[in-house]
Amino acid sequence: MTQQPSPFGDISVETFLKEYWQKKPLLIRNAFPDLEPPVGPDELAGLACEQDVESRLVIQNQDNWELKHGPFGEETFAELPENNWTLLVQAVDHWVPEANEILEQFRFIPNWRYDDLMVSFASQGGGVGPHYDNYDVFLIQTQGKRRWEVGGFFDQNSPRRPDLPVMIIPDWEPENTWILEPGDMLYIPPQVGHNGVSESDDCMTYSVGFRAPSHAEILRSFTDFVGEKLTSESRYTDPGMDLQDNPGQIGPEALQQVRDIFNRYLNDESQLATWLGQYVTDPKYPDLDQEPEDEISLEQIQGALEDGDLLLTRNEGSRLSYYQLADDKVILFADGTSFECEGATCTLATSLCQNVNIVINQGDWSDQALQILVSLFNQGSVYCE
């Protein structure tokens, strides 16, 4: 494997993954020395006024915290107090293609673990308060200053203020405090308490957030996926049943048969991979319509290739991943759908997952590959400039 460029300065990506990822916080001074943030305060406020964009405002008044959900009208911003508030906008990478450049630095983590890029703007004293998240996050300071207080592991049973609309850890006592300046980055693992307080009136933080399905979500989703394909005749059976002393007993052989039923479905690698791939590439906002206005056909793409190469770009909001079933067999996943690829088509799948753009030349791709491209285009997972 090639040596990855590291956003962690002297610490290699390999060392970061081994010693810090999911384990302990890490502060990197000047991780992004030449960062030109693609979104500033005005653009962020503009996004927060859009219907489809997920945004919130957190306003602190001494010991009280108020939460408002967007979309906001301009009057909301005009009425804000001078200090102690923050605006947070989710999935900025979906709306601002240039924001994806920052994410390229984090591609050493599998696509499917990535959630979104959240951007916040805070006035002096603004922040969301001491809390923990169940996800890994890289917090990049892009302008102004923020004091980050970090420390302690928390979970669902930890005390929290019951009277507030946001999670606030009471009696917060950080173990470390760092002031982040533009270009600095802080990694926070899941469940580690953190509190970011703006120390300027122009504080902007980019949060590269990851996600991990809970066990409950995994089990529910997989069993739904398998269950939907089964007929009601696929059932527990017990021919040759042994006579038992007490009709009330559930015997060990019943338990074993149930275990065998689970194992039968779990051991079907193709099915398990198909479920996982579809599940983890499901769009973040399934109700958003990302399909193109006009669908294309295989003949159209073949015709277009006669006129020259095509440059395909992965949709900014799309999730693409693949699973290698065998040497020449790959399942490609795109926004909750799956495509079985064989032979040379596997290269299409792996290149699409690896690169933001791919060039399609006439003659290089089989009809199977082109047909997959047509489907990806028509479902809005890729677009053509």
The type of residue at 28 is: I
Of 47, 128, 360, 372, the one binding ligand SIN by CB under 6 A: 128
Give kind and range of the element (H or E) at residue 305: helix 298-307
| Burial degree of 33 (CB within 10 A; 0-12, 13-18, 19+) | exposed
Does residue 38 bind ligand SIN (CB under 6 A)? no
97 cis-preceded (ω within 30 degrees of 0): no
Rounded Cα distance between 322 and 280, Å, is 11
Residue 84 binding partner per list ligand SIN, Co ion, none, with a CB distance cut-off of 5 to 8 Å that depends on partner kind? none
| Closer of 116 and 133 to ligand SIN (Cβ) | 133
Please report whether residue 111 would count as binding ligand SIN according to CB under 6 A: no
* Binding partner of 274, given ligand SIN, Co ion, none, CB within 5-8 angstroms per partner class: none
Pick the closer one to Co ion by CB: 102 or 348.
Answer: 102
Which of 120, 315, 318, 379: binder of ligand SIN (CB under 6 A)?
Answer: 120
Choose the stretch contacting ligand SIN; rule: CB under 6 A; options: 120-128, 152-160, 256-264, 284-292.
120-128
Residue closer to ligand SIN by CB (options 128, 312) is 128
Q: Alpha-carbon distance 381 to 360, whole Å?
A: 16
Shortest Cβ distance from residue 135 to Co ion (Å)?
8
Q: Which does 205 bind (CB under 5 to 8 A by kind): ligand SIN, Co ion, none?
A: ligand SIN
Give whichever of 38 and 380 is closer to ligand SIN, judged by the CB atom. Answer: 38
In the complex, least distance from residue 300 CB atom to Co ion, rounded to whole angstroms? 46
Which of residues 120 and 379 has its CB atom nearest to ligand SIN in the complex?
120
* DSSP reduced 3-state for 162: coil
Among 133, 149, 316, 335, binds Co ion (CB under 5 A): 133
Closest residue to ligand SIN, based on beta-carbon distance: 120
Q: Which does 196 bind (CB under 5 to 8 A by kind): ligand SIN, Co ion, none?
A: ligand SIN
Contact predicate 5/107, CB 8 Å:
no
Helix (H) or strand (E) holding 349, with range, is helix 345-354
**Stretch in the footprint of Co ion (CB under 5 A) among 16-24, 87-95, 133-141, 254-262:** 133-141
Residue 196 touches ligand SIN, criterion: CB under 6 A: yes
Q: Which part of the chain contacts Co ion (CB under 5 A), choosing from 31-39, 42-50, 132-140, 291-299?
A: 132-140
Task: Output the smallest distance, CB 148 to ligand SIN, in A.
Answer: 8
Query: Segment near ligand SIN (CB under 6 A), from 45-53, 125-133, 163-171, 212-220?
Result: 125-133
Residue 133 touching ligand SIN (CB under 6 A) = yes
Residue 4 DSSP symbol: P
d(CA 103, CA 108): 10
# chain residues binding Co ion, by CB under 5 A: 1
Q: Of 105, 111, 142, 205, which lies in the binding site for ligand SIN, with binding defined by CB under 6 A? A: 205
* # residues contacting ligand SIN (CB under 6 A): 9
Sheet of strand 146-153, all strands in order from the earlier edge strand to the far edge: 176-180, 146-153, 192-198
| Distance (Å, whole) CA 212 – CA 215 | 9
If the CB atoms of residues 169 and 352 are measured against Co ion, the closer one turns out to be: 169
CA 88 – CA 99 distance, rounded (Å): 15
Q: How far is CA 203 from CA 6, 121, 136, 149, in A?
A: 25, 6, 21, 16
Q: How far is CA 37 from CA 7, 54, 105, 182, 183, in A?
A: 16, 20, 14, 10, 10
End-to-end CA distance of the chain: 32
Q: Which residues of 154-185 are buried (b: 16+ CB within 10 A; e: fewer)?
A: beeeeebbeeeeebbbeeeebeeebebebbbb
Among 127-135, 221-229, 320-328, 365-373, which window interacts with Co ion (CB under 5 A)? 127-135
d(CA 170, CA 168): 6
Question: What residues line the site for Co ion (CB under 5 A)?
Answer: 133
Q: Which residues are at the interface with ligand SIN (CB under 6 A)?
A: 86, 120, 127-128, 133, 194, 196, 205, 207
